[in-house]
Amino acid sequence: MGGDGGERTVYADTVILAVGRVPNKGLANAIAGKVPEVYEIGDCLEPRRIAAAIHDAAYFSREI
């Protein structure tokens, strides 16, 4: 996705954002109540290493 600041629509069953090193719960808060389930993983919780995000994703993918 370019980085030109323009707005884009992406049709997907799953969306994973992997940007920044500061917790950002904006997307989770914005979609809460609009989708059946929201799981906060990785740096959304706190800045950590990529292995922690992969572990979180693997855990939740088995739980649902």
- Quick one: pLDDT at residue 10? 81
Query: What type of residue sits at position 36?
Result: P
- Quick one: pLDDT at residue 20? 62
Using CA atoms, how far apart are residues 44 and 49, in angstroms rounded to an integer? Answer: 12
- Quick one: pLDDT at residue 53? 84
From first to last of its 64 residues, what are the pLDDT tens digits of the chain? 456 778 888 888 887 777 667 788 888 899 999 999 888 887 788 888 888 888 988 988 887 6
- Which has the closest alpha carbon to 15: 45, 41, 52? 41
Using CA atoms, how far apart are residues 42 and 48, in angstroms rounded to an integer? Answer: 7
